[in-house]
Structure 1
Amino acid sequence: MRDPEERLAEIEQRRAEGDLRVGAAVTEVGRWLGRGAALLVNLFNPRVIVLGGYFARLADQIIPVAQAELDRLGMTSAAERCGFAASTLGFGAAARGAVNVVIERVLSDPTTIAFRPS
């Protein structure tokens, strides 16, 4: 399995070289993100949707397309208040967040850790 950073570098290189298929694929990702965002906005009314991982690195191409789709499909007042932002935390952000949740839980109640005497 290839490293995500390597795959993303290849995508960026092929796009920079003018590969039309890559450009079309990135645009399609933006469309689908915008459609999904419209559902979230219509249900939960968030103010911002943060893109991470691949999406964050390609945000300059994805966000305009996703925002246009959100504006088209979202309820007007909710869609107008919501925007997209790119995370700056990198590919490990989700893992770090999950670890933080576990650490906080253990620190707040150390009895959550099962102790097995040896």
Structure 2
Amino acid sequence: MAGEPDANCLFCKIVAGEVPATVVLETETTVAFRDINPQAPTHVLVIPRAHYPDAVSLAEGAPLIAADLLATAGVVAEREKVADTGYRIVLNTGAGAGQTVFHVHAHVLAGRGLEWPPG
């Protein structure tokens, strides 16, 4: 069920402290940690503590947590000192878009050319 922890989900295990992560920020509703395979000098993942498979299910099921996710991404950018120079927040939805862990997560990316379109 959306919102409930999924025993098979890597990110739920990080939230529960069962899998280690380099946490950079925790709030009541979110956890932000460094990506283990960074695609930019700054690459932090921001996840809700509650399990939702993708951005749409989070927005539909818990819009206030969706807002917290974006607000946390902004705080991460400030703390990582990339807010003034620019950063990207990426939410991949579905395997075809590159989502590999089906617990919604925002990538905060900065520190290299992030030209558009990505690819």
Using structure 1 for the length normalisation, give the TM-score. 0.32
Determine which structure has the larger helix proportion and give its number. 1
Structure number, greater radius of gyration: 1
Determine which structure has the larger strand proportion and give its number. 2
